[in-house]
Amino acid sequence: MGQLTITEDFPKNQAAFDARFNTEEACQAYLFKLRWPDGFVCTQCSDKRHWKSSRGLYICYRCEHQHSVTAGTIMAGTRKPLVAWFKAMWWFTTRKSGVNAINLQDLLGLGSYNTAWRWLQKLRSCTVRQSREKLSG
């Protein structure tokens, strides 16, 4: 799976963000559109027909291959709600002074500091340019 790229205007402020991504369904629909901008296509057999399981997986009608909107992302395999992930990404990218694990734990109501710390490590890993040059001088 290649990189997901934001192809439309993202919310400009907290109120617009909260209105747009306030449910799991809204977050899943956004990821679905990023993954399959022209509609679902099975990676195994290229069939366009699918159905959605109760676990939120998209299953190919022909070969029954299971697809997830979070596969290949930092959210893959998470047990936490996508709404929480989206909020973490919003705060990570919009706060001028940044966000640390204690802030993130408080903002999201996470029970564990370690969870907040791991999420921030994953988010930070996404901001590294792969072809960056080494520091010099």
Q: What CA–CA distance (Å, rounded) separates 86 from 1? A: 20
Query: In this model, does residue 28 exceed pLDDT 50?
Result: yes
Name the residue type at position 114.
Answer: N
pLDDT mean across residues, the chain? 90
* DSSP 8-state symbol, 131: T
Q: What CA–CA distance (Å, rounded) separates 124 from 114? A: 15
Q: What mean pLDDT do residues 109-135 have?
A: 90
Tens-place pLDDT, residues 59-114: 999 999 999 999 999 999 999 999 999 999 999 999 888 899 999 999 999 999 99
pLDDT value at position 12? 85
- As a whole number of Å, the CA-based R_g of the chain is 17
